[in-house]
Amino acid sequence: MKKVFAILIIGAIFVPLNAQRKVGFAGAKFLSIPVNVRGAGLSEAYTALFGEPSCVFWNPAGLAEITSPRSLGFSYTHYIAENYLGSLSYVQDYMGYGKVGIFAGYLYSPNFEEAYVDEINGPYLTGNKVNYTAFQAGLTYSQKFTKLFSFGINIKGIYEDYADVTSCYSFAIDAGTLFWTGWRSLRVAMSLQNLGPNLKPSGKFMKYTMRGDIEKEYVDYPLPIIFRIGIAGEIIETEFLKWTFSFEGKHPNDNVETFSFGTEISYMNMLFLRGGYTINKDEGGLAFGFGLSLAKRTNLDYSFSDFGALPDIHRVGLSFNF
């Protein structure tokens, strides 16, 4: 466990220092878009929470806290500029040795107008329509080592396709921890996402200049590494009512830190009302959502995220426990 904490602490130090040198230079940005509907409804104050299989996309340590033998989850998001995101996650007990599972997520951006840029004519549109597709898929393992400490890890493949012109693939690791402090229900969690080698598009392209055409290779780019730390606990917890608060600090390697506050009220573990706000964000920051638990086996979730001058984001999710 000491080694696990050391890795995350080193990551927490490395990522902020690295961000000062690479602001705005990370690619595969679909990995930074939340697909967990409950977390989005809390304005991303979710790292220290758990309960649904889609927490694998946030902090895999939370999977160890799922009490059902098997859980299956789906989510769908209609994102900005006609981008579409979806996810699937499945987790089950493995003979008492922890939770194992699989997960996958995609982003599909259709009907972008093709454009070219050269030194002679400058930028111009061709009139052709092109698509961008991105995909991630992997395996996850999570274990509750003691009553107070859980650890989880993802190993995943990443793929991007640029309009059938070029494509690239790589792999990455996510790791997370969840620690119960022992004081009431207060817990602290950390996660480090998308730690892996750079992506480099395959093949070559022609660069047109006044001195002739030059064949060049595509430049590689880093993954969007994200370090998160979260705190959560229950203010009220009775047989009928539970009121949870949560906080999260997030530092990506290509942008500034953001800080999120969220709250969730649960009535009889059947109706869930959520809300949150993120500060230090360029656009928007307000979010809210709700959840319904049907027969304690099926859960339906919805979230709304305000993006300021940009279109608002709506997400829906469905999960099953069996």
pLDDT at residue number 5:
46
Please give the Cα distance from 50 to 36 (Å, whole number).
Answer: 11
105 residue type, one letter: G
**Does 286 have pLDDT greater than 90?**
yes
Chain segment 18-47, per-residue pLDDT in tens: 444 455 578 899 999 999 999 999 999 999
- Tokens describing residue 140: 């996850």
- Percentage of residues in the chain having pLDDT higher than 90: 69
pLDDT at residue number 24:
59
pLDDT at residue number 295:
76
Q: The whole model's pTM is what?
A: 0.87
Chain segment 219-274, per-residue pLDDT in tens: 899 999 999 999 999 999 999 999 999 999 999 998 889 999 999 999 999 999 99
Chain segment 79-134, per-residue pLDDT in tens: 988 899 999 999 999 888 899 999 999 999 998 777 777 666 677 777 788 899 99
Please give the Cα distance from 266 to 304 (Å, whole number).
Answer: 18
Q: Which of 127-141, 147-161, 201-215 has the highest mean pLDDT?
A: 147-161
Please give the Cα distance from 157 to 86 (Å, whole number).
Answer: 16
141 residue type, one letter: Y
On whether the CB atoms of residues 137 and 160 are closer than 8 A, the answer is no
pLDDT at residue number 210:
65
pLDDT at residue number 308:
87
| 11 or 318: which leads in pLDDT | 318
Q: Which residues of 96-122 are buried (b: 16+ CB within 10 A; e: fewer)?
A: eebbbbbbebbbbbeeeeeeeeeeeee
| 167 or 7: which leads in pLDDT | 167
On whether the CB atoms of residues 126 and 96 are closer than 8 A, the answer is no
Domains of the chain: 2-321 (2.40.160.60)
**Does 8 have pLDDT greater than 50?**
no
